[in-house]
Amino acid sequence: MDSILIGAPGAGKGTQAEKLSQLLGVRHIASGDLFRKAFEEQTELALKAQKYVDLGELVPDELTIPAVLRHVEEPESMHGVLLDGFPRTLAQAQALDAVLQGVNRQIDLAIYLKLSREELLRRIAGRLFCHAHQHVYHVQFRPPKVADTCDLDGSKLYQRPDDTGEALRRRLVIFFNEATQVLDYYRKQHKLRKVDGNQSIDQVTAMLLNEINDSMR
Ligand code: AP5
Ligand code: MG
């Protein structure tokens, strides 16, 4: 199964994709995580993409599309992918379709995780990431066992620089301006479903699983 989680910054895409990919046996590919890994490793992609991410702007398609699709084409993705944060533009959605068609696959399901703006801000304000593997925590809703330390790999937790100030404001504006075209793209293909993200992590997972099971019937 190949599917997509769509949602505003802080909607819980990463949190849910991490859980669902394990439950479904598919590979979780998160475009934002790929960029942040590139920044840690100071790769060539990082040099070109960092200024956009720091400003909360979308990284141009000519950088984003090959960076993500390379992973979709890898053998580890042959049992299916769960995409988080990609596609965000029509060009990205079309490029994804072309790659999947090449291996006789297609996007089966796109789920829009919908939340109120107040809840998005509450989640982003308390979010912490681990340096080693981008595991996600929240000071209130999902605190680590030891302060500032990842439960899973012991690395230090940090706040994403684009989770504050102008960069955060830009990310929210861009999402609400530009998500419509991607949502419409999947709606027209009868692949789009909506889930209310204003619930606990486990409740949201249960609702996502319901939609996935229902769509496979
Ligand atoms: P990206 O990393 O994709 O950021 P985003 O879309 O803004 O989404 P977030 O990662 O902020 O939120 P999330 O939905 O994953 O929420 P999370 O699970 O962490 O992109 C970053 C940047 O990279 C972009 O701005 C852009 O520059 C660039 N980029 C990426 N993809 C691109 C693309 N395709 N094209 C161009 N540029 C691209 O949860 C949030 C918090 O809430 C956490 O603390 C979590 O613990 C907590 N939480 C989660 N669920 C719940 C719940 N149910 N109840 C309580 N707390 C919860
Ligand atoms: Mg994320």
> Choosing from 27, 88, 123, 193, which is the catalytic residue?
88
What value does the mean pLDDT take over residues 125-139?
93
Q: Other C-beta atoms within 10 Å of 89: how many?
A: 19
Ligand nearest to the CA of 173: 1
DSSP string, 73-129: TSGGGTT-EEEES---SHHHHHHHHHHHHHTT----EEEEEE--HHHHHHHHHTEEE
Residue 88 appears among annotated catalytic residues: yes
What value does the mean pLDDT take over residues 110-119?
96
Query: How many whole angstroms from 6 Cα to the centroid of ligand 2?
Result: 10
DSSP string, 132-188: TT--EEETTTB--SSTTB-TTT-PBEE--GGGSHHHHHHHHHHHHHHHHHHHHHHHH
pLDDT at 64 over 90: yes
- In this structure, the strands spanning 27-30 and 109-114 are unpaired
pLDDT score recorded for residue 216: 87
pLDDT at 217 over 90: no
Instruction: Give me 119's structure tokens.
Output: 């809840």
E strand or H helix that includes residue 38:
helix 31-41
pLDDT at 195 over 90: yes
Query: How many whole angstroms from 134 Cα to the centroid of ligand 2?
Result: 9
pLDDT score recorded for residue 99: 97
Residue 127 appears among annotated catalytic residues: yes
pLDDT score recorded for residue 28: 97
pLDDT tens-digit map of 145-194: 999 999 999 999 999 999 999 999 999 999 999 899 999 999 999 999 99
Q: Quick one: angle between helices 90-102 and 61-72, nearest 10?
A: 30
Q: pLDDT > 90: what percent of the chain?
A: 96
Q: Is the pTM of this model over 0.85?
A: yes
What is the residue whose two structure tokens read 């340096």?
131
Ligand nearest to the CA of 113: 1
pLDDT at 139 over 90: yes
Split at pLDDT 50, 70, 90, the class of 98 is very high
pLDDT score recorded for residue 37: 93
pLDDT tens-digit map of 25-35: 999 999 999 99
95 lines ligand 1 (CB under 6 A): no
What value does the mean pLDDT take over residues 27-53?
95
Dmax (CA) for the chain in angstroms is 46
31 lines ligand 1 (CB under 6 A): yes
> Choosing from 27, 36, 123, 171, which is the catalytic residue?
171
